[in-house]
Amino acid sequence: MLKGRIGSMSMVFLIPVILLMASSVFNIFSWSHRYDKGFGDGRSAGYSDGYKEGEQFGFQNGNSTGYASGYKMGGDQGRLVGYEAGFEAGKSVGLDSGYKRGKDEGYSIGFVTGNETGFNLGLLEGYSDGYMQGVKDGARRGWTIRDPTYSETIQFIFWDTTDSNTYDQDSYNCFHFTADVKSNSYEAGYRCFLVYLVLNEGAHAIVSFNTTDKGLIFIEPQDDRVITPRVGQPYWDRSRYLPPSYDDTIVSIILVP
C-alpha cells in the first residue's frame, strides 16, 4: 500500500520536471530559430545598407583618385598629341606666312640697299666714262694741252686702266706702260712726260706730270704709285720689293716731253 503511494508521488514530481525540460528544449529551439531568422534578416538589411554606403563612399574616393590619374594621363597624352598636331599646323601656316613676310621685307630692304649700291656704282662708273669722254671730246674741239692740277692728275691715273695690263719683258714692258699712259693723258688734254731712268745696270721708264699746284710728280704706270726717284738711290722700294738681280741704282733722270 505504501509502495503504491510512493510511486504515485514520484510521478507527481516527475511530470513537472519533464514539462520543464520540454519547455526548456522548446525555448532553446525557439531561440535558435529566432536567432537564425534575425541573423538572416539583419545580414540582408545590413548588407543592403552597407552596400549603399560603401558604394557611395567608394565611388567618391574612386572617382577622385581616378579623375586625378585619368586627368594626368589624359593631359600628358593630350599635350603630346596636341603639341605635335599644333606644331605641324603652326609650322605649315608659319612657314607660309613667314615666307611671304620675309619675301616682302627682304625685297623692300634689298631694293633700298641695291638701289643705293647700284646708284653709287652707276654714279661712279658713269662719272668715269662721262668724264673721260667729255675730256676727249673737249680736247678734239680745240682745247690746248695743259699741265693738270695734282687732284686732276690723281683722278686721271685712277681712271686710266693701263696698270691692269700684263707685263711681258719682250712684248709689253715698262716702256709700253709709259707710252700708253702718256698717250691717254694727251687724249684727256693733260701734258705728260716720259721719264727715262738710267740705272747702273739697265734702264727703266715711268711718267711724270708737272702739276700746277704741287709741282713735278712721278708715277709708276705699272701700279699707279706716286714715287720719288733720286739719283744715287735704288729705284725699287726695298720695303715693298725684294732686291732685283741687277743693280737698280739710279744714275740719271731724263724727262722727255
Tens digits of per-residue pLDDT, 78-134? 555 555 655 565 556 555 666 666 656 666 555 555 555 555 455 455 555 665 565
Beta-carbon count within 10 A of 155 CB: 15
> So what's the pLDDT on residue 205?
96
pTM of the model: 0.47
Q: Which fold has domain 146-256?
A: Beta Polymerase; domain 2 (3.30.460)
Exposure string over 219-254, b if 16+ CB within 10 A, otherwise e: bbbbeeeeeebeeeebbeeeeeeeeeeeebebeeee
Q: Which residues of the chain have pLDDT under 70?
A: 1-143
Tens digits of per-residue pLDDT, 193-204? 999 999 999 999
